[in-house]
Amino acid sequence: MARLELNNLHAEVAEGDEKILEGVNLEVESGEIHALMGPNGSGKSTTAKVIAGHPAYEVTDGEVLLHLEEDEFGEEIEIDEDQRTWNLLDLEPNERAALGIFLGFQYPAEIDGVTMTNFLRTALNAKIEEREELFEGEEGDDEDEADEGFETSPMEGPADEGEVGVAEFQEILQEKMEALDMDERFAQRYLNAGFSGGEKKQNEVLQAAILEPSIAVLDEIDSGLDIDRLQDVSAGINALRDEQGTGILQITHYQRILDYVEPDHVHVMLDGQIAKSGDASLAAELEDKGYDWVREEVYGTA
């Protein structure tokens, strides 16, 4: 079990002093599905990016904590008592990923020349390796670290096999792609390059399925999806929760996806804060009454 905790989180754009988050409080636990809703510019995407460690935002106050339990990463990794709470703001994005944070991007990058297979296997192995370093700390010699991971060629994959070898990885990938109803040819394509909007979103869910995060923040994973793909993606998200116990923070504008991925909790964000929280019925109420209703209720003005 893991728990992501945002306390009084304040953030602004790093270049400039535009305040975007003004005291966000939120907790997401493994196995829970949270929907984070709100109008454009309310701070939903910024919340996601700050959790992942986007360099464009500066946190000015508050904290982002990740609480882990002893057995979060299985039997092989022992988590001492003093290593169970991490302040994510002190960590690099790849270290956060190693601790089990996943950000599904609203606009996934297109990376030409790097195949899906090579990228994902590199990521999976890097994550395992980084996790060992974070918890065991014995391979923390910087020079060793610098020498590793450079044997990668975009066409052939790392010469150094890493924890998960090529053959083993192919199996994992194939299985997860089948589960998501993805064409196996995707594996040899370059990462998101020339993918349709829907294919990119499907690919985000696939990557989450392979990296098995403790907490997945999915930023508008539902935008631009047709109904068939929406169902595939939704099934993928439900599987993350049901099969891997991932906690989901789902950012969305629309009620639509919530018909397929039923949230345990719904939060409404306004002006950089969580203005209102409730259960799934809150989403339905929002659909009827709009965000102004929340604004009115919370601030007493429309």
Kindly state the smallest distance separating residue 166's Cβ from another protein, in Å: 16
Kindly state the smallest distance separating residue 231's Cβ from another protein, in Å: 25
User: What is the full DSSP assignment across the chain?
Assistant: -EEEEEEEEEEEESSS--EEEEEEEEEEETT-EEEEE--TTSSHHHHHHHHHT-TTEEEEEEEEEEEE-TTTT-SSS---GGGSEEEGGGS-HHHHHHTTEEEE-SSPPP-TT-BHHHHHHHHHHHHHHHHHHHHH-TT--HHHHHHTT----TTT--SS--SS-HHHHHHHHHHHHHHTT--GGGGGSBTTTT--HHHHHHHHHHHHHHH--SEEEEESTTTT--HHHHHHHHHHHHHHHHHH--EEEEE-S-SGGGGTS--SEEEEEETTEEEEEE-HHHHHHHHHH-HHHHHHHHHS--
Rounded Cα distance, 280 and 181, in Å: 28
Shorter beta-carbon distance to another protein: residue 26 or 51: 51
Shorter beta-carbon distance to another protein: residue 130 or 232: 130
Kindly state the smallest distance separating residue 150's Cβ from another protein, in Å: 5
Rounded Cα distance, 176 and 186, in Å: 12
Residues in contact with another protein by the rule CB under 8 A = 52-56, 92-94, 96-98, 102-103, 105, 108-109, 111-114, 118-120, 122-124, 126-127, 130, 145-146, 149-155, 190, 207, 211
Shorter beta-carbon distance to another protein: residue 134 or 280: 134
Shorter beta-carbon distance to another protein: residue 142 or 288: 142
Kindly state the smallest distance separating residue 45's Cβ from another protein, in Å: 13
Kindly state the smallest distance separating residue 131's Cβ from another protein, in Å: 9
Rounded Cα distance, 290 and 187, in Å: 41
Kindly state the smallest distance separating residue 191's Cβ from another protein, in Å: 8
Shorter beta-carbon distance to another protein: residue 122 or 202: 122
- Beta-carbon count within 10 A of 291 CB: 18
Kindly state the smallest distance separating residue 112's Cβ from another protein, in Å: 6
Shorter beta-carbon distance to another protein: residue 212 or 264: 212
Kindly state the smallest distance separating residue 139's Cβ from another protein, in Å: 13
Shorter beta-carbon distance to another protein: residue 193 or 284: 193
Shorter beta-carbon distance to another protein: residue 121 or 265: 121
